[in-house]
C-alpha cells in the first residue's frame, strides 16, 4: 500500500516538474519561445501561410500565337494557363545553343507560326527557373537570367523550337533537345481558339480586339498588429524602445535593428544594418533566404508572384499580390503595398510590407465588368505614355478602401521603358 502511494506521489512530482519546465522554456501558452535561432529571430504565432519558392515563380502572362497574326493571352490562375504551364513544367529542355537576338525577326515569326510564349517580368535566373522547369543547362546558359520563353513550330520543320531570351536583350538560347512534339504544341495552341483575340501592335505590345471581362470584387480585410511583428522580429521585445517621429510614424529599436510603422499602423519597414554588401552575389540563395524570412515573419495571405532586380550588388525582391488572375496594384497612401526585401549575402537588410491583408473566401460582392479594347484602348495608352515607349499593357486590380474592406476595381496598366507603371482611367 505504502509503495503504491510512493509511486503515485513520484509520478505526480515528475509530471509537475515537466509542466514547470515547459512553462520556463515556453513562458505562457500562445507566447513566443525563448529558444532562439542562430539569427536571434523568433518565430511568432501563426499569421499568414508559408509558401515554397516554387509557388512564387510563374509567368506573368502566357501569350498564345495561333498563326496568321492571331493571338490571345492567358493570365495566371486561369484554367488553360494552369493546364499548359503544368504540362510544360514536366518536359525536358537541353543542349542550349547561343545566338544573337538580331539573328531573326522574332515579331514577324510570332505572327506566322503557332506557339506559346511565357513572359517573366523582370527576368528569372536560370538557377531559379530550374526549380519550376526541367532544364539541363551548360555553364554559359546557367549564368543567364531569362525574361521570355517562346516555344513554336513551323510548317516546313517537323521539330519544335524552344527559345530562351536573355534579360540583357542581346542573346537568345535555343534548346535543341526538346521533350515536346509538334502535336503537343499545336494541341496547346488550340486552347486559345475562341478566347479574346489580341492584336500585336507595331510597338510590340498586345491589346484585345474585344471587351475583356474581369471580375470586380469587394473583400473584407484583416490586419496584423504591430505587437505581432515586434514579437516576431525582436529577440526580447521588452528591450526595445519606442521613438515617435514628426511625420506620425513610430520606430521600435533594440539599438541594432529597427522597425518603422507608418500610414496609421498599416505598413512596416524593418531594417537590419548587420547585413554586409559583397561582390559575390548568389541570387538563388538570396531568394531562398528571402522567402524563408517572409514565411517566418508574417507569411503570405493569398497568391504572390516573385520578381527581382538583378542589377545591384544586393538582391532586391518584390512579392506582388494577386487576386484571381491579376496583380493587385499598390495603394501607398493607405499603407497597402506589396512585400519588398533587400537581401545581402543571404541576410535580409530591409523588409517592407503592409499589415493589411485580404480575407479571400469571404467576398462581399462580385460583378463582371468590361475593360476597354481596340482603338479606344490604344488611344488611352498613347495619352498615358506620352512620348515614352510602352513595354507592355496588362489588366490589374486597383484597390479602393471601403467601409467593409477593399474593393478591387479592374483597370488597364501600362509599363513604360523607364520602368514606371501607369494606371489607365476606367470608363
Give the residue-averaged pLDDT of 21-32: 32
Is the separation of the CB atoms in 338 and 351 below 8 Å?
Answer: no
B/e letters for 101-130, b = 16+ CB within 10 Å, e = fewer, are: eeeeebeebbeebbbbbbbbbbbbbbbbbe
The reported pLDDT for the residue numbered 262 is 85
Tell how strand 347-354 and strand 267-271 pair up: antiparallel
What pLDDT, in 10s, does the model give residues 185-214? 999 999 999 899 999 999 999 999 999 999
Residue 21 has pLDDT above 60, yes or no: no
Separation CA 311–CA 373 (nearest Å): 35
Higher pLDDT, 110 or 274: 110
Residue 4 has pLDDT above 80, yes or no: no
Separation CA 304–CA 322 (nearest Å): 6
Mean of the per-residue pLDDT values of the chain: 86
Separation CA 180–CA 162 (nearest Å): 9
Give the residue-averaged pLDDT of 216-239: 83
- Residue appearing with cell numbers 491589346: 207
188: left (phi > 0), else alpha (psi -120 to 50), else beta?
Answer: alpha
What is each CA distance from 31 to 101, 231, 354, in whole angstroms? 57, 9, 23
What pLDDT, in 10s, does the model give residues 163-173? 999 998 899 99
Residues sharing a CB contact under 8 Å with residue 110, sequence separation 6 or more, in sequence order: 65, 71, 117, 150, 152, 200
What pLDDT, in 10s, does the model give residues 277-309? 666 788 899 999 999 999 999 999 999 999 998
Give the residue-averaged pLDDT of 317-333: 96
Residue 336 has pLDDT above 70, yes or no: yes
Residue 216 CB coordination number (10 Å): 15
The pTM of this model reads 0.86
What pLDDT, in 10s, does the model give residues 243-262? 877 777 888 887 788 889 98
Paired residues of 244 in beta bridges: 250
Residue 155 has pLDDT above 50, yes or no: yes
H/E segment holding residue 183: helix 182-190
Paired residues of 407 in beta bridges: 218, 400
Higher pLDDT, 231 or 410: 410
Give the residue-averaged pLDDT of 299-322: 90
The reported pLDDT for the residue numbered 19 is 43
Amino acid at each position: 500500500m505504502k509503495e503504491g502511494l510512493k509511486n503515485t506521489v513520484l509520478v505526480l512530482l515528475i509530471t509537475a516538474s515537466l509542466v514547470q519546465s515547459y512553462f520556463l522554456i515556453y513562458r505562457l501558452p500562445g507566447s513566443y519561445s525563448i529558444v532562439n535561432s542562430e539569427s536571434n529571430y523568433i518565430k511568432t504565432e501563426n499569421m499568414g501561410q508559408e509558401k515554397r519558392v516554387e509557388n512564387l515563380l510563374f509567368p506573368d502572362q502566357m501569350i498564345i500565337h495561333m498563326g496568321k497574326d492571331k493571338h490571345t493571352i492567358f493570365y495566371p490562375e486561369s484554367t488553360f494557363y494552369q493546364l499548359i504551364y503544368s504540362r510544360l513544367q514536366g518536359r525536358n529542355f537541353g543542349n542550349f545553343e547561343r545566338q544573337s537576338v538580331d539573328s531573326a525577326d522574332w515579331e514577324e515569326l510570332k505572327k506566322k507560326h503557332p506557339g506559346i510564349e511565357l513572359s517573366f517580368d523582370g527576368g528569372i535566373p536560370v538557377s531559379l527557373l530550374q526549380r519550376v522547369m526541367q532544364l539541363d543547362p551548360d555553364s554559359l546558359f546557367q549564368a543567364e537570367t531569362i525574361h521570355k520563353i517562346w516555344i513554336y513550330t513551323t510548317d516546313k520543320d517537323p521539330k519544335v523550337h524552344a527559345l530562351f531570351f536573355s534579360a540583357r536583350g542581346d542573346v537568345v538560347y535555343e534548346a535543341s533537345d526538346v521533350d515536346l512534339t509538334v502535336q503537343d504544341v499545336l494541341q496547346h495552341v488550340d486552347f486559345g481558339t475562341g478566347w479574346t483575340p489580341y492584336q500585336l501592335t507595331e510597338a510590340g505590345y498586345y491589346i484585345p480586339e474585344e471587351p475583356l471581362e474581369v471580375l470586380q470584387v469587394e473583400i473584407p480585410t484583416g490586419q496584423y498588429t504591430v505587437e505581432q511583428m515586434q514579437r516576431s522580429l525582436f529577440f526580447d521585445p521588452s528591450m526595445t524602445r519606442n521613438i515617435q517621429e514628426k511625420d506620425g510614424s513610430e520606430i521600435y529599436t533594440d539599438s541594432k535593428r529597427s522597425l518603422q510603422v507608418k500610414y496609421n499602423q498599416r505598413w512596416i519597414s524593418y531594417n537590419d544594418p548587420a547585413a554586409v554588401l559583397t561582390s559575390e552575389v548568389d541570387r538563388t540563395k538570396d531568394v531562398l533566404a528571402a522567402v524563408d524570412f517572409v514565411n517566418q515573419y508574417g507569411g503570405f495571405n493569398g497568391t504572390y508572384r516573385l520578381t527581382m532586380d538583378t542589377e545591384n550588388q544586393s538582391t532586391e525582391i518584390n512579392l506582388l499580390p494577386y487576386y484571381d488572375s491579376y496583380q493587385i496594384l499598390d495603394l501607398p497612401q493607405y499603407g497597402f503595398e506589396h512585400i519588398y526585401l533587400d537581401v545581402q549575402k543571404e541576410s535580409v537588410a530591409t523588409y517592407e510590407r503592409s499589415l493589411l491583408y485580404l480575407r479571400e473566401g469571404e467576398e462581399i460582392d462580385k460583378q463582371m465588368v468590361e475593360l476597354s479594347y481596340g482603338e479606344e484602348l490604344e488611344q488611352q495608352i498613347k495619352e498615358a505614355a506620352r512620348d515614352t515607349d510602352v513595354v507592355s499593357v496588362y489588366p490589374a486590380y486597383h484597390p479602393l478602401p471601403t467601409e467593409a474592406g477593399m474593393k478591387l476595381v479592374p483597370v488597364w496598366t501600362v509599363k513604360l521603358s523607364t520602368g514606371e507603371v501607369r494606371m489607365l482611367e476606367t470608363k
